[in-house]
Structure 1
Amino acid sequence: MEHVDVAVVGGGPAGASAAHAAAEAGASAAVFEKGVPRADREGLGPDSTDAAGILDYWVDIMDIHPDEFPDDVLLSELDRAAFVGPNESCVLRSTGIGSSYDAFGYTFHRAKFDDWLRERAEAAGADYRVGVSVKDAETDLRGDPRHTLRLASGDAVSADFLILADGPQRTVTNRVLDRFLPFPVTDHLGTTAANHIAYQEHRRLPAEIAEDLRGAITFWWGHIPGHTAYPWIFPNDDDVARIGLTMPIGLDVDAVPDRGAYPLLRPDDETVPGGSEYLRRLLEHEYGDEYDVPGDFPLVEDRGKSTGTETYPISSTRPVDSPVEAGIAVAGGAMGTTSAFHEGGDHVAVRTGAIAGELAGTGDLSGYNAAWKEATGDEILRNVTMADMVRDYRPDDWDRIFRTAREMLAETEGYGMFERKFAAGWDAMKLLLSYRWNKRRNRDLVNIHESDYVY
């Protein structure tokens, strides 16, 4: 049977980063990636689960500066984020968190980013196998080696350490973790089904619109119903932008209160509109008075997964600790770090994968759970807190929050506005208190603790 020191299931940002770090540490590392086709990639590769934007302080969390990228990965630099409610809006020009990256952030080509991570891992000596599906990973704590990967081909590969990075659907991860838990893993890590769906289109903008949106990531909150449901526009290159949205799956439109308050819902909607219809309505709502929609916003069919469009599931949960005593680490979306609140988590996936790979490569995973919390815990806590704060928001709540935030942050404080000891005005005080209360309530980040595992 073939043997490697570190076996990695999944070749996305977490898996490729894990293999790179393990190989850099001197271990033999192999990545097993089933691969999916994309129109914007020459061969098979990992699936995309991200709108592909990075904020300034995320650069330090990811621990990869964009100066390291090939020229075709980074698409545009950002200088602001705009948040648009039904009647109010605010602009954020700083996250308020110190970073080594000078701009507000950047957008990038996700498939080319994945390909570069693969090339980086291979250059370090890792073996990246695409088109290879893992059916299961078995562990014998008394065995030497401990782990055996069962491949769809019928072959088997043994390994001393196992890193699970199979994304937010956790096809292998759930099966492996279940064997070490006294309760079903899906009770705590979500199910194998997605709870959100993301859809986006690559469209060429009219020159005037492209210039107006250049440097800005724009989000429309309170325009469609559902927890953490929002459309967005991300500028790319050559006046092309990603226009997309995230929305929950299975929402009953008849159960939506105040349906008429949502600008992109119609009184005669019998079901929640699909992603493409929502985006058509967004463009009509914003630009229909001056432009022919969608004629003036044509699809760029040689981008994205298929004819200029992308659809991908998100299974958003809180993260879990890993059964490190068994020589297993879970990283990235597989451990629950993909957030529907900010649409993705490439920066956290890369960092958790790198930590897992480095520790496995040096032969000791025992510090992994503490290490990923030290590196990414503040970021995850921030997102969990924000998502809880807005869980029951309706359109008028978004207007109130944007009006209050505009008065509080003066465009420069970003998240720093939540660190104030005092804020003038009742709405500002409620905002601060809500954030702090939710942050305290969520300070225990994980759904499954290391102590829950039974060996």
Structure 2
Amino acid sequence: MERFDVAVVGGGPAGSAAAHAAAESGASAVVLEKGVPRADRPDRLGPDSTDAAGILDYWVDIMDIHPDEMPDDVVLSTLDRAEFIGPNESLILRETGFDTSYDHFGFCMHRARFDDFLRNRAETAGAEYRVNVSVRDVESDRDGSPRHTVRLASGEDIEADFVVLADGPQRQVTNKVLDRFLPFDITDRLATTKVNHIAYQEHRRLPEAVARDVEGAIKFWWGYMPGHTAYPWIFPNDDNVARIGLTMPIGMDLSDIEAREKYELLRESDERIPNGKEYIRRLLEQEYGDEYDIEADFPIVEGRGKSKGTETYAISSTRPIDSPTDVGIAVTGGAMGATSAFHEGGDHVAVRTGAIAGELAASGDLSTYNDRWKAAIGDEVRRNVAFADVVRGYGPDDWDRGFAAARKMMESSSDKLFDLNMGTVRAGLSVGRVATQYKKAKYKSRSDKYVQLSEDEYAYADS
């Protein structure tokens, strides 16, 4: 039976970052990745690699990997702004308001190439990366040596002193492992259909004039489709191609939607929530249908994305969880819920949490992991949790009021997103109300109150 210091379940950004950090610190590390065939990775199996793949300037520093370190073909376009579009109000953001080492507003990247870069980086440091390997289970003995036996679908076993769970927001292995250390059913907190959003995107080639208009901008439409943090987007890539997609909660019932006639992407004839493909068609028809034939002038680029130019994937839409570090397990990235529907994923927090877990596992002591990841990404998580709480229950009219207020705030703060310490009285009462709501929501998440499963809830008696 093979034995490693660190076994990593999942080979995406968090898993590869964990393996790199562990190997660089001198530990033996192995990544176990089931491998998914993708049109944009034709010669190599790898992780699922599905998200909108955009990084803001200050996320570069959270991730702690600068684009200059990446191969030239990873970054597809640089960004200079974000456009937020409501039914009748909109705003343009040109600064995030953070001091950062990156010179642009952000960038869009080729996610599969990014994952391959992280894999190569881990292998160069000395980690093993095994593909076409499915993990069936992880059995743990708190006092054993080693403490963990990773059971593979092939019937083989791998022993490890530490396990890093990095299997993404669907948590196919993570939930099974954590369930043994909890006095309640894990699905009470982490049922996939309740704590995730579903996302869908298409890679489409844009007409020249539209590509010029979109160049440098990530665009989001809020209040156009129902659901908490549900919205479509456009992310520009290269060669006039853009990712056009959306995210929405899983399992919404159209009969529960109030004032459905106000949502631009719903139709009176709808009997159920439209699927992603239909939503995108309606968005493009609304924005460009007067001038273009959508199917002819915005063709899907079939050689990109996961399959035939399209991708469907899960995104964490809940608060993060602590890890049972006392038994030598760290949960990272999407599996811990650190990614976010507001991020369209969250490669930066996945990489950072993975790196922290790998470093500590190599040192032989994971006890500070939960404190370390909170110190590294806690402010980022609090912002997302606060924004999500503020907009919970928003309809189209609420988004218009919010954008109008946000535009006034930005006019008082040099177009910076997170600087709410501006002259709200000068900007008006509505602005002060929005700022106050955000500050209250953020205050409620102070310390580690944004964590939905804390370390002290784990019980190790049977481990």
1:7 is aligned with what amino acid? A
Q: Using the alignment, how far apart are the partners of 1:28 and 1:331 within structure 2?
A: 19
Q: Using the alignment, how far apart are the partners of 2:87 and 2:295 within structure 1?
A: 22
Distance of aligned partners of 1:279 and 1:334 in 2 relative to their CA distance in 1, 3 Å threshold: same
Partner of 1:4: 4
Partner of 1:393: 394
Partner of 1:450: 455
Q: Deviations over 1:364-402 (max 9, x none)?
A: 111111100000000011011111111111101111111
CA contact 2:316–2:338 (8 Å) conserved in 1? no
How much has 1:115 moved relative to structure 2?
A: 0.7
How much has 1:416 moved relative to structure 2?
A: 3.2
How much has 1:289 moved relative to structure 2?
A: 1.1
1:429 aligned onto 2:432: yes
**Counterpart mapping for 1:282-361 below 5 A:** 282-361=283-362
CA contact 1:81–1:92 (8 Å) conserved in 2? yes
2:434 is aligned with what amino acid? L
Partner of 2:25: 25
Q: Using the alignment, how far apart are the partners of 1:286 and 1:256 within structure 2?
A: 24
Secondary structure, in 3 states, of the residue corresponding to 1:371?
Answer: helix
1:362 is aligned with what amino acid? S
CA contact 2:50–2:306 (8 Å) conserved in 1? no
**Count of residues in Structure 1 that have an aligned counterpart in Structure 2:** 455
CA contact 1:9–1:164 (8 Å) conserved in 2? yes
Q: Using the alignment, how far apart are the partners of 2:50 and 2:302 within structure 1?
A: 19
1:439 aligned onto 2:426: no
2:441 is aligned with what amino acid? N
CA contact 1:36–1:45 (8 Å) conserved in 2? yes
Q: Deviations over 1:263-305 (max 9, x none)?
A: 1111111111111111111111111111111211111111000
Question: Which of 226-235 and 314-323 deviates more?
Answer: 314-323
Partner of 1:414: 416
CA contact 1:194–1:313 (8 Å) conserved in 2? no
**Counterpart mapping for 1:5-404 below 5 A:** 5-41=5-41, 42-191=43-192, 195-404=196-405
How much has 1:249 moved relative to structure 2?
A: 1.7
Secondary structure, in 3 states, of the residue corresponding to 2:402?
Answer: helix
CA contact 1:136–1:150 (8 Å) conserved in 2? yes
Distance of aligned partners of 1:208 and 1:192 in 2 relative to their CA distance in 1, 3 Å threshold: closer
2:320 is aligned with what amino acid? P
CA contact 2:95–2:105 (8 Å) conserved in 1? yes
CA contact 1:169–1:192 (8 Å) conserved in 2? no
How much has 1:194 moved relative to structure 2?
A: 6.4
Q: Using the alignment, how far apart are the partners of 2:332 and 2:418 within structure 1?
A: 29
Secondary structure, in 3 states, of the residue corresponding to 1:419?
Answer: coil
CA contact 1:75–1:108 (8 Å) conserved in 2? yes
How much has 1:341 moved relative to structure 2?
A: 2.4
How much has 1:39 moved relative to structure 2?
A: 0.6
CA contact 1:84–1:90 (8 Å) conserved in 2? yes
How much has 1:192 moved relative to structure 2?
A: 6.8
How much has 1:98 moved relative to structure 2?
A: 1.4
Secondary structure, in 3 states, of the residue corresponding to 1:341?
Answer: coil
1:3 is aligned with what amino acid? R
How much has 1:242 moved relative to structure 2?
A: 0.4
1:417 is aligned with what amino acid? D
Q: Deviations over 1:227-248 (max 9, x none)?
A: 1110000000011100101111
Q: Deviations over 1:151-204 (max 9, x none)?
A: 000000101111111111111111111111212222223437764211111111
Q: Using the alignment, how far apart are the partners of 1:186 and 1:421 within structure 2?
A: 45
Q: Using the alignment, how far apart are the partners of 2:143 and 2:165 within structure 1?
A: 20
How much has 1:421 moved relative to structure 2?
A: 6.7
TM-score (norm 2): 0.96
Q: Using the alignment, how far apart are the partners of 1:376 and 1:429 within structure 2?
A: 27
How large is the RMSD of aligned CA atoms in angstroms?
Answer: 1.3
- Unaligned 5+ segments in structure 1 are none
1:452 is aligned with what amino acid? E
Identity, % of aligned positions: 67
Partner of 1:405: 406
Distance of aligned partners of 1:140 and 1:421 in 2 relative to their CA distance in 1, 3 Å threshold: farther
